[in-house]
Amino acid sequence: MMAMVMGMFEARSMRIGQTGGSGLMSREQVVGALGAVSGRHPLGWLAAQAEHGGESSTLAQLTAHLRTRLTAHSAHCATLPELTLAIYLRRPLPEQLRSLVAKHPRWDRERRRAAKLKVLITKEKEKGGEAEAARLQATHDEILTAARVRCEQEIMTTGRCPKCAGTGKMLRKGGDCAVCNGTGKVVPDMGIIERMAGVAAVRAVHQALDELESAATTFKRALRKRLEGEREQ
Ligand SMILES: [Zn+2]
């Protein structure tokens, strides 16, 4: 909780300490301020937590909020609330994840390793080594599954573009990375929303995202003010 609040502000500028004293705010003061401000800005508190690595219960509450907010547009796309949250957190959408994994250097390496096994499997089958072929096939599948999981986890937890490893530059050729347009980050693809749920849904999603962002900003401003008030007492 403390780490999250410190992450929301520049901790040093807020002078938050674990013990208080010498102009530092104590943990109790921070928790007290948080209790008061979050009660007045529940949505902003949820959104701010989500931005700073919120727990799954926080994300579930936000998804529920978005489900209510986007009911009118969810008829053809049941996962619209989840997709909207992914965009808010600057995470790739599930459809995008598959194509991003394919651009990850690790995936490329492991795919080559698996392809070599595939050659061996064919040879084994040709000479009637069914058992050995089956063993190799299992290894082959394991390699690809493990690589997919690792790549997906990395992309989802870092939000970094896998192609340029977050640098935004093409490693050898130079120039901007074409996958992330030089941002180094995963850029959520709104085209997916449009294809799944239509143009009106895209507008509604943008509105819902703006609301979350402004709620988070209002919450953080109120918390900062409250904490500054605490410090001056
Ligand atoms: Zn990139």
Determine the pLDDT at residue 142. 97
Q: Give the DSSP letter of residue 16.
A: B
Q: What angle do CA 186, 189, 195 make, to 5 degrees?
A: 160
Residue 16's pLDDT band (boundaries 50, 70, 90)?
A: low
Instruction: Give dist(CA 114, CA 145) in Å, integer.
Output: 11
CA of 150 to the centre of ligand 1 (A): 18
CA of 204 to the centre of ligand 1 (A): 28
How far from chain centre, in Å, is Cα 23? 36
CA of 186 to the centre of ligand 1 (A): 8
- Number of Cβ within a 10 Å radius of residue 86: 20
Determine the pLDDT at residue 232. 67
Instruction: Please tell me whether residue 19 adopts helix, strand or coil conformation.
Output: strand
205 or 187, greater pLDDT: 205
147 or 8, greater pLDDT: 147
For the four alpha carbons of 15, 16, 19 and 20, in that order, the dihedral sign comes to positive
208 in Cβ contact with 70 (< 8 Å): yes
Average pLDDT over residues 184-210: 90
CA of 233 to the centre of ligand 1 (A): 48
Tokens of 64: 């529920």
CA of 181 to the centre of ligand 1 (A): 7
CA of 170 to the centre of ligand 1 (A): 7
CA of 2 to the centre of ligand 1 (A): 33
Residue 150's pLDDT band (boundaries 50, 70, 90)?
A: very high
CA of 104 to the centre of ligand 1 (A): 10
pLDDT at 37 over 90: yes
CA of 49 to the centre of ligand 1 (A): 27
Task: Name 117's Cβ contacts closer than 8 Å, sequence gap at least 6.
Answer: 136, 139, 140, 143
Phi/psi of residue 166, each to 5°? 85, 0
106 in Cβ contact with 171 (< 8 Å): no
Unique residue bearing structure tokens 């007492």: 233
CA of 180 to the centre of ligand 1 (A): 4
Instruction: Give dist(CA 19, CA 24) in Å, integer.
Output: 8
For the four alpha carbons of 133, 136, 142 and 143, in that order, the dihedral sign comes to negative
Determine the pLDDT at residue 19. 52
- Pick from 46, 20, 51, 22: which is nearest to 34 by CA? 46
